[in-house]
Chains A and B, each alone.
Chain A
Amino acid sequence: MKRQVPLVLCFVFGIVMILTQFSPHSVSQWVYEEVISWVLIIGPFALVLATVTLIQTHTARIRRRTEHWQYSFVVFAGLIIMVLIGIFFTPQNSVFEWLYNNVQLPMDATMFSLLAFFIASAAYRAFRARTFEASLLLITALIVMMGNVPVGDFIWNKVLFWTPWEDGVSWWRQWILDNPNLSARRGIILGVSLGVISQSIRIILGIERSYLGGGD
């Protein structure tokens, strides 16, 4: 019951999804659509996992009095206020939208913008042409960075106007993205996709079982 039934369910749903995609028969299509509607229903319940994990993590922090444990109350305050207002007044409610627009949105946007500072600092400290490979990476990054902004072409046209490339550094940027970058990315896509397919087969056949977690 604990391990065999999930393995059977995984096998059945996996095989059914493969087979129904190759058969245009009406019964096959009905099964295909029914399975999709089933997973559409099951999927949203997974939110329980994320919520429980977050609550358990911060409850444990408060109970154990770990460093900065007091801030876990802030997590709960934010969560409870949003949930109460959202549940009782719907997500279209103006207070809920106000909280999203003036609390969540600015913090989310700012949190990720911090990386601009760290990237600049890292570029100065660690971006070195130590080897041939590192030099390739560095030169490409510099060309792409300059090709991404209008000042790149502006400088090129002032300094390197005698070269045959009228569009300047933006032309080179585009050429790199369209050619060597494309080849490397395609190699990665092919490799990763073969991995995904083989892993999917292993999961359906019950060879890969890590999703069942530990225990009996």
Chain B
Amino acid sequence: MDRRFVFILVALAVIIPMLLSINLPVSVSEPTQKFYDYVEALPAGSTIMIAFDYGPSSLAELNPMAKALLKQCFDRDIRVIAITLIVDAPTLASAVIQEVATEKGAVEGEDYVFLGYRPGQVQVMLGMGTDIASVYDTDYNGTAIGEIPMMQNITNYDQIDLLVDFASSDTVESWIIYANVRYNQRIAAGVTGVIIAQMFPYLQTGQLVGLLSGILGAAEYENLVGAPAKGMQWINVESFVHLLIVGLVIIGNITYFIHRAREE
């Protein structure tokens, strides 16, 4: 079979369900529930640091979960400090935060702040452990950190109740190694499909307090927050592509075994 025929099948498996708008129920997995419960248990006025450690190549999986978490934070009066350690992320992260803040009426500088990007993953993580202002002297727009109302009583990780890393690479491990181990910072993560499997040892030890797994995690979180959006919509479309791929694997194997039996 020409591989372009497979490509057409994949395209149709995405386009047709998207036009039909199918809605199947999504159950919530334990790591997602743990994540949600941890944030829910934080009192109003707490502070969460969100690291947008992903670029445009992973926005499909991570933007929906970031938006769902931001909605939960703004609804519960949890303050958000956003940063990024990935060079191609600042414009993307800034847009995501502004979109949700506008929707929820959150005020920049009081309910949230986006500090932007700083190069050097490990040194940024360690630097913020002693003094955030030593790494970020201004926010992304150039406002001095001392002039930002919500940053007045925040010096380092001691005043951050949870750090959430939305990641598409090895930054989660770095946050665990340098922020959790060295500064006892509590960490939760939302990651892309490619790195989900390697997160589970950290979840079992409690080094991660919760985990959102790719677009499924995003859909689960939207479900919990009560704000179904792209995550819920896309996971339903995803169903049909997975069915197609499983079908292709099964057909491929049946063909293979028939061939092998004939040759023998």
- On whether A and B touch (CB less than 8 Å), the answer reads yes
Determine whether the beta carbon of A109 is less than 8 Å from that of B91: no
Determine whether the beta carbon of A100 is less than 8 Å from that of B91: yes
Complex interface: chain B residues within 8 A of A142 (CB): 246, 249
B243 at the interface (CB under 8 A from A): yes
A36 at the interface (CB under 8 A from B): yes
Determine whether the beta carbon of A101 is less than 8 Å from that of B235: no
Please report which residues of chain A, range 99-119, place their CB below 8 angstroms from some CB of chain B when the two chains form the complex. Answer: 100-101, 104-106, 108-109, 111-113, 116-117, 119
Please report which residues of chain B, range 191-246, place their CB below 8 angstroms from some CB of chain A when the two chains form the complex. Answer: 196-198, 200-201, 204, 213-214, 216, 235-236, 238-246
Complex interface: chain B residues within 8 A of A112 (CB): 57-58
Smallest beta-carbon distance A89→chain B, Å: 13
Bound complex: CA of A185 vs CA of B244, how far in Å? Answer: 29
Question: CB within 8 Å of A: which residues of B?
Answer: 1, 3, 6-7, 9-11, 24-27, 29-30, 55-60, 88, 90-92, 95, 118-120, 123-124, 126-127, 130, 134-135, 140-141, 182, 196-198, 200-201, 204, 213-214, 216, 235-236, 238-246, 248-249, 251-253, 256
Q: Beyond A123-B248, A128-B253, A145-B246: 8 further Cβ-contacts under 8 Å?
A: A47-B119, A112-B57, A148-B214, A150-B26, A151-B239, A152-B239, A186-B201, A188-B198
Determine whether the beta carbon of A182 is less than 8 Å from that of B92: no
Please encode chain A, from 163 to 179, with 1 for each CB lying within 8 Å of some chain B CB and 0 for all others.
Answer: 00001001000100110
Complex interface: chain A residues within 8 A of B240 (CB): 151
Complex interface: chain B residues within 8 A of A186 (CB): 201
Determine whether the beta carbon of B6 is less than 8 Å from that of A117: yes
Determine whether the beta carbon of A37 is less than 8 Å from that of B134: yes
Determine whether the beta carbon of B197 is less than 8 Å from that of A124: no
Bound complex: CA of A127 vs CA of B118, how far in Å? Answer: 42
Determine whether the beta carbon of A125 is less than 8 Å from that of B243: no
Smallest beta-carbon distance B139→chain A, Å: 11
Are A120 and B27 CB-contacts (below 8 A) given A44-B119, A91-B91, A108-B55?
A: no
How many chain-A residues does the 8 Å CB contact rule pick out? 58
Contact pick for B197, options A36, A145, A181, CB 8 Å:
A181
Bound complex: CA of A119 vs CA of B10, how far in Å? Answer: 10
Smallest beta-carbon distance A54→chain B, Å: 14
Which one of A106, A124, A185, A188 has the greatest number of beta carbons of chain B within 10 Å? Answer: A124
Bound complex: CA of A142 vs CA of B196, how far in Å? Answer: 16
Question: CB within 8 Å of B: which residues of A?
Answer: 21, 33, 36-37, 39-40, 43-44, 46-47, 91-92, 96-97, 100-101, 104-106, 108-109, 111-113, 116-117, 119-121, 123-125, 127-130, 138, 142, 145-146, 148-154, 167, 170, 174, 177-178, 181-182, 185-186, 188-189
Determine whether the beta carbon of B253 is less than 8 Å from that of A185: no
Bound complex: CA of A36 vs CA of B178, how far in Å? Answer: 13
Complex interface: chain A residues within 8 A of B3 (CB): 121, 125
Determine whether the beta carbon of B30 is less than 8 Å from that of A174: yes
Smallest beta-carbon distance B247→chain A, Å: 9
Bound complex: CA of A129 vs CA of B6, how far in Å? Answer: 20
Q: Which residue of B lies closest to A168 (CB)?
A: B27
Determine whether the beta carbon of A181 is less than 8 Å from that of B200: yes
Which one of A105, A121, A145 has the greatest number of beta carbons of chain B within 10 Å? Answer: A121
Determine whether the beta carbon of A177 is less than 8 Å from that of B196: yes
Determine whether the beta carbon of A129 is less than 8 Å from that of B141: no
Determine whether the beta carbon of A149 is less than 8 Å from that of B57: no
A-B contact pairs, 11 of them (CB 8 A): A101-B91, A105-B59, A109-B60, A117-B10, A123-B252, A124-B249, A146-B246, A151-B24, A151-B236, A151-B243, A170-B27
Complex interface: chain B residues within 8 A of A178 (CB): 200, 204
Smallest beta-carbon distance B211→chain A, Å: 10
Bound complex: CA of A130 vs CA of B239, how far in Å? Answer: 27
Determine whether the beta carbon of A40 is less than 8 Å from that of B135: yes
Determine whether the beta carbon of A105 is less than 8 Å from that of B241: no
Q: Which residue of B lies closest to A155 (CB)?
A: B243
